[in-house]
Amino acid sequence: MATIEEILQVEAIETDIYRGPAFRSHLQRTFGGQVAGQALMSATRTVDDDFAVHSLHGYFLRPGNPDLPAVFLVDRIRDGRSFTTRRVTGIQQGEAIFTMSASFHVRTDHGIEHQDRMPPAPSPDDLPDQMNELSDEAKAVFKEWQEFDLRLVPREQMPTSNYFAAQQRVWFRHRRRLPDDQVFHVGTLAYMSDMTLLGSSKVPHPGVEPQAASLDHAMWFMRPFRADEWLLYDQTSPSADAGRALTQGRIFDLDGRMVAAVTQEGLSRTGRDMPADQHARREQ
């Protein structure tokens, strides 16, 4: 299977035009985190090193074909003193499959500081590796992400609030040491952030198997981090209705620093057949 270094290594084929490689896959559609990560890396390649991405907003327009590369067209919307904006469109076979707006902020700004406290969770070292907990069918699909260590916090070990409709917490990290470049860790987290988040919407509905797919995805990056060190993904699903589920996540490092936040809306439609790869992903 492809490494995250290979996945995020977009190729410049013309000014502001990049190609994201395709790799052998067990999935029927390209993993959303791969598309978002490649789009973000394409945008980053057009921005001065004095700026770092602080937010992205993406829409999944069509299912990607995992057997084909994607081409990413970058529009330079604005280059300012403090903020830079890029718009990226991912294309396969002449059709847009993904669009993203990304904003970059100069690294030297200072201001007020505060954050929510990290919620309680058992140490990831005390939890089982999710790859060892999956069925054989699911393991075949999850070979896509075998480089990532995911550990689900059991419900009985997770303090919850009656004010939230659905809650889930997951520890995750890349298994290998990654390059030190913070840009690469941001791209890796954009890839990782699509893992398990939509699953938080299924917590109140045991036994229900909705058709699931990411519809849109937004991220905010607050503090530097390493994607090869443990990160706690604190997830909630405030609402689900009309075949769509809203999910949110806050990401903390082991020191309790909030490093990123995520909001995603996904398809949660019932009454239709689910592709085989989604059956396997449901177990995660």
> Using CA atoms, how far apart are residues 236 and 159, in angstroms rounded to an integer?
13
DSSP secondary structure of 71-104: EEEEEEEEE-SSEEEEEEEEEETTEEEEEEEEEE
Closest C-alpha to 73, from 55, 87, 53, 94? 87
What residues contact 156, with CB distance under 8 A and at least 6 apart?
none
CA–CA separation, 9 and 188 (whole Å): 11
Query: Can you tell me the distance from the alpha carbon of 187 to that of 80, in angstroms, rounded to the nearest whole number?
Result: 23
Does an H or E element contain 66, and which? none
Measured at the CA of 14, the angle between CA 51 and CA 77, to 5 degrees, comes to 40
| Cβ contact 81:41 at 8 Å | no
Catalytic residues: 194, 214, 264
- Phi and psi at 198, nearest 5°, equal -65, -25
Task: For residues 218 and 221, give the distance between their C-alpha atoms in angstroms, rounded to a whole number.
Answer: 10
Rounded CA-CA distance 264/198 in Å is: 8
